[in-house]
Homo-oligomer: A and B are copies of this chain.
Amino acid sequence: MSLAVKSIKSLAPLLDRVLVQRVKAEAKTAGGIFLPEASVKELNEARVLAVGPGGYDKDGKRIAVSVQPGDKVLIPQYGGSPIKVNDEEYSLFRDHELLAKINE
C-alpha cells in the first residue's frame, strides 16, 4: 500500500510492530562471482528501521519488542504488511514473526 509521507522516518509502528526494509542482495556470491538477476531476489534479511512501544501482557503492562532500530533480522518467507514510500518498499511485522537477529 502506498503512502504520501515525505520520509519513511515519519512512520512510528504501533504496539508490537516492527518496520523493516529488506536488504538488497548483492549481485555476486560470497566468493565474488556475479549472479544473474533472477538469483538475487529471495534474500530474507532486513534492516530494522523503527519499532513499536510493545504489546500488552495480561496485566496491561508493555512487553518490549525483541529488536532495535539498526538491527539486522531474519524475516519469514511470507507475511508482514508491505508499504511503499517514494518507490521504496518496506514491511511491518509483529515482533513474534521475526525469526532471528543477525549479528554483524
Contacts and interface: CB of A to CB of B under 8 A. Distances in A.
- Copy number in the complex reads 7
B14 A101 contact: yes
A52 B99 CA distance: 10
B96 A15 contact: yes
A9 to B, nearest CB: 8
Interface of A: 1-6, 10-15, 17, 19, 23, 25-26, 30, 42-45, 52-53, 56-61, 63, 66-67, 73-74, 76-77, 81, 83, 86, 92, 95-96, 98-104
Contact of A43 (B2, B14, B74, B98): B2
A5 B101 CA distance: 11
A67 to B, nearest CB: 7
A44 B3 contact: yes
